[in-house]
Structure 1
């Protein structure tokens, strides 16, 4: 008799207590924690990206944290392939806990994934400059002319999605819809899945974000950014764009005061959390909602 494999998917905005909840679940049932955050895969930036600490990693097995050199790019397809290798090797009776804030990773796990080739920053920037002059109708008209299937699917000409689709077409000569038509099947299609979105009250989350970045600045974030800058990497790399890196870099280079670096990084984190919340509402609207670190919600979700 085959064992029904179990996975727990814990999503939520930054600073909502996802890692703490995942650790509690893993300790309770000897589960395996797998990173589902696109920035926490990179080395060098443990503090800046809020990766689990060394003490937490000693309490439960953590995978796919800090495994990619900061000088590399790591795509969703590469992450999914790494996850497939982990799942093939893990004991079928062991619960696997995916935790992170990257919505696309969860989509890939549960809905399948189209492995689109990496698109250069230059191509993406060129498309962005093209559509900046256009209103929503103009963006949709341009996308319809080049990839009508994708235009029909997204419905609304969200700038980021239009840029993505047009950049793929310009760089590969193929429509994004063609890649999506050949997507890989969902890895967890036959698994028993428990889905959780952490959705703390907005004001509480904002307070946690503000306090956390100030603490990061005092507890290793500056040293991490110094180490990153010493590598003299391409500024377009994902690790170089991690929230906190540009701001601390500005302070180290004398262009920002310490207070302004902290303020700007905190604002950027608030904005990122808001974008994450929008994704979770739009793409994971049927997932159960919990408050900070998995506690019952006290008020309305953000």
Structure 2
């Protein structure tokens, strides 16, 4: 059995091209770990790899979910587990790539045992969040989960809503579940993770150029198609980077220029948060600051082959 290769990094950092090259060089197959690239309706907006980019390398968990669904980390974890086990039986390397750090954290450290929240509770909390904002959510949460209410700031409306809906659904603060984790899918020495950390100025420039390219490739048409379906704007797919601004433009509420600039800004801010996540959640993952594909490959091959030989020895 070969250890899985995990590749994480901020949006537009070149993860896709690197994962495909790693899989091609090491007889592997690619498994998606990006929460937006699972949606079949977001091919352009999520920068999902196309057939030319895949270059004949098998890809899994890309574009297989309807945008009308609320796809969860738990669902991804179960599907990823099944794909990994199949690849292990075939003696193939699993190359797991994406910008959703929570997916990779759950894969290697286990998923918090929070039970599913009923849809009626979610709807109730969404209404409260819209009417009262983050401050209202915090005031409601504080008597029941003071630790979380104090820790989360006014810019964390989504996390405040999540904590409040968990309390409504279970009668327990979300912190109660943090130490209750399911076993990880990949144990130590069954995987090796790499974090791409390109220079920020260069990355932000690439984010801007990539969004402009998405507009040329049909991002607006994707947004209009989703709007015409009348989907709930709170669905994850409707919150994909740039989607809310494209939707506002499609409804005639803002100009194309205003939509594009704000979409780029939000995506740059997301990339900044991804850098922070890497620093906090994956402190021991080898960093790859270079941007050239060949340089990245040399780092991965040099470090990975050592652990691959050790694992082969363990299972021989």
**Same-fold call, TM > 0.5?**
yes
Q: How many Å separate the matches in 2 of 1:217 and 1:80? A: 32
**Aligned counterpart, 1:265:** 263
Three-state SS of the structure 2 residue aligned to 1:74 is coil
Question: Which has a greater percent of helix?
Answer: 2
Cα deviation per residue 1:188-245 (whole Å; 9 max; x = unaligned)?
0154322111111110001000100011001111121122122111111111111222
**Aligned counterpart, 1:106:** 104
Alignment of structure 1 residues 30-109 onto 2, 5 Å: 30-92=27-89, 93-109=91-107
**Aligned counterpart, 1:132:** 135
Question: Aligned pair in 2 of structure 1 residues 142, 239: CA closer, same or farther (>3 Å)?
Answer: closer
**Aligned counterpart, 2:244:** 246
- Alignment check: 8 A CA contact 2:149 2:160 kept: no
CA root-mean-square deviation:
2.6
Q: How many Å separate the matches in 2 of 1:29 and 1:258? A: 44
Q: Please, what TM-score do these two structures have when normalized by structure 2? A: 0.81
Moved over 6 A (4+): none
Q: Please, what TM-score do these two structures have when normalized by structure 1? A: 0.85
- Alignment check: 8 A CA contact 1:247 1:265 kept: yes
Cα deviation per residue 1:143-171 (whole Å; 9 max; x = unaligned)?
5x5247xx3xx797133355433331123
Which sits farther off after the overlay, 219-228 or 61-70?
Answer: 219-228
The alpha carbon displacement at 1:115 in A equals 4.1
- Alignment check: 8 A CA contact 1:36 1:105 kept: yes
Pairs aligned (count): 285
Unaligned stretches of 5+ residues in structure 2: 297-316
The alpha carbon displacement at 1:182 in A equals 3.7
Unaligned stretches of 5+ residues in structure 1: 298-302
**Aligned counterpart, 1:157:** 151
